[in-house]
């Protein structure tokens, strides 16, 4: 196996302005610890309070969605991995991206829900949020991600981007990108 070229990784992280990245099994306490680190980085980065709040909120909703999903499926720790990256784009806007393995059918549903959210303006997103908030808990879709996704869309300054990459055994890698 090739050795890990840390220098090349560092160059790539720097050129893509990656503040924080994580890949691996994710637990409740790890979500909190990484979140704490993220808050510190944002403070050190002199992010405005609202932007820091939004980035943190989007990170929490994305990772907790992944955690809920893998728990609902009863997957083990190795299957329950998440890939999370917080970076900045050329314009200085924060980007929160997260990905995880998902059953392909669930992934297709998610991608189409996100496409529907992308068509809504601010008022439409707010109405969808309030409607979802009033929906009984047990009526939530098994993918769970209803309210969290709308919240992420509301905190984003551009439509969410989602993609699905087939892996094996009816599963795909789902990835979601939010520009704050």
Partner 1 sequence: MNDFSIPSSQSTPEVRSDWNAGQLHMAGDSYPENSFDLFQQVFDWIESYLDQAGAPLSLELRLLYLNTSSVKAMMDVFDLLEAAHQDGKQVAVNWYYDPQNERVAELAEEFKEDCTFNFNIISHP
DSSP one-letter code for 19: E
Least distance in angstroms from the C-beta of 28 to partner 1: 5
Indicate whether 21 belongs to the interface with partner 1 (CB under 8 A). no
Residue numbers 85-144 binding partner 1 by CB under 8 A = 126, 130, 133-134, 137
Least distance in angstroms from the C-beta of 134 to partner 1: 8
**Helices 146-155 + 49-73 axis angle, to 10:** 160
| DSSP line for 97-166 | EEEEEEEHHHHHHHHHHHHHHHT--HHHHHHHHHHHHTS-GGGS-TT--HHHHHHHHHH-SS--EEEEEE
Indicate whether 57 belongs to the interface with partner 1 (CB under 8 A). yes
Q: For residue 43, which of 30, 29, 59, 56 has the smallest C-alpha distance?
A: 56
Least distance in angstroms from the C-beta of 136 to partner 1: 10
Comparison of 60 and 85: residue with beta carbon closer to partner 1: 60
Comparison of 38 and 172: residue with beta carbon closer to partner 1: 38
Residue 145 has φ and ψ, to the nearest 5°, of -75, 10
Residue numbers 25-44 binding partner 1 by CB under 8 A = 28, 31-32, 35-36
Binding site for partner 1 (CB under 8 A): 28, 31-32, 35-36, 49-50, 53-54, 56-57, 60-61, 64, 67-68, 126, 130, 133-134, 137, 147-148, 151
């Amino acid at each position: 196996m090739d050795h890990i070229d840390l220098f090349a990784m560092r160059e790539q992280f720097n050129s893509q302005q990656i503040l924080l990245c994580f890949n691996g099994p994710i637990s409740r306490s790890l979500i909190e610890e990484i979140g704490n680190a993220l808050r510190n980085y944002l403070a050190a980065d002199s992010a405005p309070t609202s932007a820091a709040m939004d980035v943190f909120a989007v990170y929490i909703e994305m990772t907790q969605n992944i955690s809920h999903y893998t728990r609902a499926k009863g997957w083990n720790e190795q299957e329950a991995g998440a890939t999370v990256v917080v970076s900045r784009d050329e314009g200085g806007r924060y980007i929160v991206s997260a990905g995880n393995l998902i059953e392909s059918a669930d992934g297709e549903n998610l991608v189409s829900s996100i496409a529907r959210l992308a068509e809504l303006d601010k008022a439409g997103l707010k109405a969808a949020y309030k409607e979802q908030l009033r929906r009984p808990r047990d009526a939530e879709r098994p993918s769970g991600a209803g309210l969290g996704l709308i919240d992420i869309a509301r905190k984003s300054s551009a439509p969410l981007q989602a993609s699905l990459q087939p892996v094996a055994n009816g599963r795909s890698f789902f990835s979601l990108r939010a520009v704050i």
